[in-house]
Amino acid sequence: MKRKLLAAFLCAAMVVTMGAAGCGGSSNEASTDDTAAEESAAEDTTDAAEEESGDDAAAEESDGGVITVGFSQVGAESDWRTANSESMKNTFSEENGYKFIFDDAQQKQENQITAIRNFVQQDVDYILLAPVTETGWDTVLQEAKDAGIPVIIVDRMVDVSDDSLYTAWVGTNPLLEGRKAGEWLKAYAEAHNIEELNIADIQGTIGSTAQIGRTQGLEEAAEKYGWNIVVQQTGEFTQAKGQEVMESILKQYDNINVVYCENDNEAFGAIDAIEASGKTVGPDGDMLVISFDSTNAGLTDVLSGKIICDVECNPLHGPRAEELIKKLEAGEEIEKENYVDGEIFAHGTDVESVTIEGTEYPVTEVTEDVIAERAY
């Protein structure tokens, strides 16, 4: 809205200039009353411009106040992503006063870049970006900035040369998530006198901040506690790839006793592969499976013990993104980085809590009631 208004104002200003120059005549031909008429026309436009731009939000309200939001979503690779998309669609609905343009990039960055360019062409009011990987965004975010369209990063983070290329970010801290899992595993191994940990790390989408942080959390713990990370391979946050990678790992190694899956869908695939090979998972099994996301299906596996620990990564960012947009609409200051914390869920009560950099995080034992109360 703001941009269109400016264009109208500039046109009016040009009309005044042209008028004075006398379309069809030289500047000194325009009669006095013509100039006066043009000036008052320009004044009207100027007043309109000041009024509208001065209080755009009200102006938006006055003409239906529909706020157009373009959302570039990673894809539909996991239960987490589905819950995230639903949260965004439910929040930016027509009845809530939005025109929501949703684009599924099928986990390809080039599709996200195309989507953002389309949003700029359509002159949306806000762009939401859930970036598949952290790098490669500078050029397209500069185009959005040049077009005066605020960009809010959702979930994973971007690594850009100039952080004025985005207005704000809302999401979770994957390094903290990885550290929570690492400390939980340390405490659990001690409680069960597990001397040797030979770990398979089924990683998320390589280069996404979710994968980078969770992998780092594991590697730090392995270094600190003398664990053996036997193999690291990406499962691309999907169940199919998680199963395929686990099948391959089982063929190559027979000493794995911990499988660190960087999201629930990889864990579902890995568990299928492990059980198909005749091995078992769980507190009394051949392998312990660690996971992230704490989706409903994930916590169901924690209840049975198939997943022994599941670190929450909350996907319900719709209301959080909307809160930022409402503040921007009202001209209020907003935080650049908006962190969302999560719980640690486990099978049984072996570990009460973990402490990371001086902060204690309680562990929640999964029961039917715990699952019943979950929002996703």
Tell me which residues touch ligand GZL (CB under 6 A): 77-78, 80-81, 155-156, 172, 210, 237, 263, 292-293, 313
Least distance in Å: CB of 129 to ligand GZL?
12
Residue 316: CB atoms within 10 Å? 16
Q: What are the phi and psi torsion angles at 208 (to 5°)?
A: -85, 145
Complex with ligand GZL: residue 155 or 322, whichever CB lies closer: 155
Least distance in Å: CB of 1 to ligand GZL?
32
Lookup: tokens for 178: 């990885």
Complex with Zn ion: residue 67 or 366, whichever CB lies closer: 366
Angstrom distance (rounded) from CA 73 to CA 102:
7
* Residue 305 near which of Zn ion, ligand GZL, none (CB within 5-8 Å, type-dependent): Zn ion
Residue closest to ligand GZL when measured from CB atoms: 80
| Dihedral angle over CA of 33, 38, 40, 46, nearest 10 | -170
**Concatenated DSSP letters for 337-374?**
EEE----EEESSSS--EEEETTEEEEEEEP-HHHHHH-
* Residue 81 near which of Zn ion, ligand GZL, none (CB within 5-8 Å, type-dependent): ligand GZL
269 binds Zn ion (CB under 5 A): no
**Concatenated DSSP letters for 271-298?**
HHHHHHTT--BSTTSSBEEEEEE--HHH
Lookup: tokens for 74: 């990673």
298 binds Zn ion (CB under 5 A): no
> For Zn ion, which residue of 305, 315, 318, 342 counts as binding (CB under 5 A)?
305
Complex with ligand GZL: residue 9 or 237, whichever CB lies closer: 237
* Residue 306 near which of ligand GZL, Zn ion, none (CB within 5-8 Å, type-dependent): none
* Residue 263 near which of Zn ion, ligand GZL, none (CB within 5-8 Å, type-dependent): ligand GZL
Angstrom distance (rounded) from CA 277 to CA 304:
19
CA distances from 38 to 14, 23, 111 (A): 10, 12, 48
Complex with Zn ion: residue 30 or 363, whichever CB lies closer: 363
* Residue 80 near which of ligand GZL, Zn ion, none (CB within 5-8 Å, type-dependent): ligand GZL
174 binds Zn ion (CB under 5 A): no
* Residue 241 near which of ligand GZL, Zn ion, none (CB within 5-8 Å, type-dependent): none
CA distances from 111 to 74, 143, 237 (A): 9, 16, 18
With H, G, I as helix, E, B as strand and everything else as coil, classify residue 310: strand
Least distance in Å: CB of 193 to ligand GZL?
31
Complex with ligand GZL: residue 98 or 292, whichever CB lies closer: 292
Please answer whether residues 263 and 81 qualify as being in contact, where contact means their C-beta atoms are separated by less than 8 angstroms. no
* Residue 213 near which of ligand GZL, Zn ion, none (CB within 5-8 Å, type-dependent): none
Residues contributing to the site for Zn ion (CB under 5 A)? 305
